[in-house]
Homo-oligomer: A and B are copies of this chain.
């Protein structure tokens, strides 16, 4: 077990802009540290200022390059930026983020850019449990914009939207991408769409397809997602992406939707933490689970009855 750290001291240093202190606090989240409740309490009053922007898209659309270009643009606008890359994919993978780190290296020496990869696989509660806590740390540390990227495919691409204020969906020209996007459901969750590699054939077709699909979405708010064309490698279109993100932020604030989204997010976070705490109790009474499981395997107890006993070992009515 890691040595306990002096939370108030490290939080104060993180808030004064010390990257090493921020990194240390994120590590506590990543490691599911027993000090998390203390940390959570210490930063609760300092959060709510950062604009959390989720970046999602299939492999090959130029996610890292786009992120890097966006960071550069936001820095030109004088904003403190954090990039949080979350890897929820496989319990067996590891090191997949090295490539991203290398591509982001142009920002390495900038003290107002904080870049961090975080594994959520060991974390009870997964992405939904780990990401909000890391975001609160970066928020309390004074970041103006936090870009959240997931590495991996499938559900995680959709989950990232659940922790963001604004979700940017990256696409690239070509019908395959369009279909893949629709399949993964990411067209449903975008607040801003970016068609990167727009110097390739088919960019306008893809834009038209995306606009058509946006038109078919169940409109539950009065925001029509803009579709921006970019060539991230040359920085073309990146200012428009930054503008669109800022406009969506303004829309969320003035419409009251920001508070709504954040309350919903806090609700999911609370539930995830509560479930993780219940799960931890199960792990502590591991022999209890084992005994019940042996009975289920032998066919003398059914799984639902076993679950009820696990939750209520005394046997009284639940």
- Selected A-B contacts with CB under 8 Å, 7 pairs: A152-B154, A259-B297, A266-B292, A266-B297, A274-B282, A274-B311, A277-B311
Residue of B nearest to A259 (CB): B297
Q: Contacts A91-B185, A153-B153, A154-B155; is A293 near B270 (CB within 8 Å)?
A: yes
CB contact between A263 and one of B40, B90, B93, B294 (< 8 Å): that residue: B294
Inter-chain CA distance A219–B304, complex, in Å, is 34
Asked whether B158 lies within 8 Å of A90 as measured between CB atoms, the reply is: yes
Cβ of A301 within 8 Å of any chain B Cβ, yes or no, is yes
Q: Which residues of B contact A45 (CB under 8 A)?
A: 299
Asked whether B269 lies within 8 Å of A303 as measured between CB atoms, the reply is: yes
**How extensive is the interface on chain A, given as a class?**
35 or more
Inter-chain CA distance A156–B296, complex, in Å, is 24
- Nearest 3 Cβ contacts at the A-B interface: A92-B185, A273-B307, A267-B293
Q: Which residues of B contact A158 (CB under 8 A)?
A: 90-92
Q: How far is the CB of A57 from chain B (nearest CB, A)?
A: 15
Inter-chain CA distance A91–B121, complex, in Å, is 20
CB contact between A270 and one of B46, B91, B274, B307 (< 8 Å): that residue: B307
Asked whether B89 lies within 8 Å of A155 as measured between CB atoms, the reply is: yes
Inter-chain CA distance A47–B40, complex, in Å, is 46
Q: How far is the CB of A136 from chain B (nearest CB, A)?
A: 8
Cβ of A183 within 8 Å of any chain B Cβ, yes or no, is yes
Q: Which residues of B contact A266 (CB under 8 A)?
A: 292-294, 296-297, 303, 306
